C-alpha cells in the first residue's frame, strides 16, 4: 500500500501547528537534543527533508517548518499571495523560535530558505549557533542573475509573479504535476529523483493557497534581485561571522557551482565544497552524504 501524505505526516512528526507573527505555522518535529531548524526552498515544503529527519533526530531536536504561505503554513493577517521577503522569513523564524522557547539554534537551509536564514542571522546574530547551506543564493551573485547563458533558467522567477502562473499551474492536478514536476526533474541531476514523491508534491501544492503562497516569494525578492542586476553586489555588506558550511551540487542548472566564488565575501568563517553527482536538491539527492556531514558539522 502506498503511503499517503497524511501517513508521512504521522511518520515524521509533521502534525504540529503554532501561531506566531501573524501566521499559523505547520511543522515537523522529531528527536531530542540541541535544536536544529531545517528551512526549505521552492518548490518545496517540509517533506523535502524526509531523507534527513530520522537520521538527524538521533542527535538533535529537528524542526522542519513550512515557510509562510508554503505547505500548510498560512498568514492570518494578509491575503494569500502577498509578497514574501527574506526579511519577513527572518522575522518569522524569530517569532517561531520564540513560540517554541528556543533561544539559539543551528540552521540547515536551501534555496529560498538560505535567503531567509541569512536575513535572520543579520538581524539576530546571537541566536545562530552555526549555519549549513545547500546551493546557497547570496548577494555576491550580483549581475550574473541576468547573464545571457543563465536567462533560459531564470524565466520562472518572472513568470511566477504573474497571476497567470497560479491560474495555469493550479488549473487542475495535471497542470500542477507538469509545472512543479518540471522543476523537480530538471533541477535534479537524475530527473527521476522525485518520481516516488511527486504525487505528494502535487497534493501539497493543490492545497488552497499553497501555489499562491510559494509563488509570493518571487514578488517579494524581485526588487532586490533587479537591484543586483543593475548595480552588482553591494560593497558595504558585512560578512556574517558564524561558522558556516556550504555544500553545492555539481550539476545545479539554476544555481551553477561557479557562483560559489563570492561566498567568502558573505561568510567570514566558511568551509565550502562541491557535492559530486548532485543537482539543486542536494539534501534529497545525496542524503547519506548530507546526513553524515550535518551530524559532524553541528557536533563540533
Catalytic residue among 27, 280, 283, 284: 280
Catalytic residue among 61, 91, 92, 111: 111
**What phi and psi, each to the nearest 5 degrees, are found at residue 132?**
-125, 120
Q: What is the dihedral of CA 90, 91, 94, 95, to 10 degrees?
A: -140
SS3 for 223? Answer: helix
> Is 40 noted as a catalytic residue in this protein?
no
Cell 538527524 appears where? 56
Q: What is the dihedral of CA 3, 5, 6, 7, to 10 degrees?
A: 30
Catalytic residue among 218, 242, 252, 284: 218
Contact between 237 and 266 (Cβ < 8 Å): yes
The whole-angstrom separation of Cα 144 and Cα 229 is 7
| Run of H or E residues at 287 | helix 287-299
**What phi and psi, each to the nearest 5 degrees, are found at residue 201?**
-65, -40
> Is 111 noted as a catalytic residue in this protein?
yes
- Considering only CA atoms, which of 157, 267, 140 is closest in space to residue 214? 157
> Is 280 noted as a catalytic residue in this protein?
yes
SS3 for 106? Answer: strand
The whole-angstrom separation of Cα 134 and Cα 264 is 15
- Considering only CA atoms, which of 13, 297, 288 is closest in space to residue 133? 297
Catalytic center residues: 111, 218, 280
Amino acid at each position: 500500500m502506498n503511503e499517503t501524505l497524511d501517513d508521512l505526516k504521522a511518520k515524521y512528526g509533521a502534525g504540529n501547528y503554532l501561531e506566531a507573527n501573524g501566521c499559523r505555522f505547520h511543522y515537523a518535529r522529531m528527536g531530542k537534543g540541541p535544536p536544529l531548524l531545517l528551512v526549505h526552498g521552492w518548490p518545496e515544503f517540509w517533506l523535502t527533508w524526509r531523507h534527513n529527519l530520522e537520521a538527524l533526530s538521533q542527535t538533535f531536536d529537528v524542526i522542519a517548518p513550512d515557510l509562510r504561505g508554503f505547505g500548510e503554513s498560512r498568514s492570518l493577517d494578509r491575503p494569500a499571495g502577498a509578497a514574501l521577503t527574506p526579511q519577513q522569513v527572518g522575522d518569522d523564524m524569530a517569532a517561531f523560535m520564540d513560540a517554541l522557547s528556543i533561544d539559539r539554534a543551528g540552521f540547515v537551509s536551501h534555496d529560498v530558505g538560505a535567503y531567509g536564514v541569512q536575513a535572520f542571522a543579520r538581524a539576530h546574530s546571537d541566536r545562530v549557533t552555526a549555519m549549513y547551506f545547500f546551493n546557497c543564493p547570496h548577494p555576491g551573485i550580483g549581475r550574473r542573475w541576468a547573464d545571457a547563458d543563465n536567462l533560459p533558467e531564470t524565466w520562472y522567477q518572472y513568470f511566477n509573479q504573474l497571476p497567470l502562473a497560479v491560474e495555469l499551474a493550479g488549473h487542475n492536478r495535471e497542470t500542477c504535476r507538469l509545472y512543479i514536476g518540471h522543476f523537480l526533474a530538471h533541477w535534479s541531476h537524475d530527473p527521476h529523483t522525485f518520481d516516488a514523491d511527486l504525487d505528494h508534491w502535487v497534493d501539497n501544492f493543490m492545497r488552497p493557497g499553497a501555489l499562491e503562497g510559494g509563488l509570493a516569494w518571487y514578488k517579494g525578492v524581485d526588487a532586490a534581485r533587479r537591484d543586483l542586476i543593475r548595480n552588482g553586489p553591494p560593497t558595504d555588506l558585512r560578512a556574517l561571522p558564524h561558522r558556516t558550511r556550504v555544500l553545492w551540487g555539481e550539476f545545479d542548472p539554476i544555481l551553477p557551482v561557479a557562483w560559489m566564488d563570492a561566498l567568502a565575501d558573505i561568510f567570514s568563517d566558511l568551509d565550502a565544497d562541491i557535492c559530486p553527482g548532485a543537482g539543486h536538491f542536494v539534501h534529497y539527492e545525496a542524503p547519506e552524504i548530507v546526513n553524515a556531514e550535518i551530524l559532524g558539522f553541528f557536533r563540533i
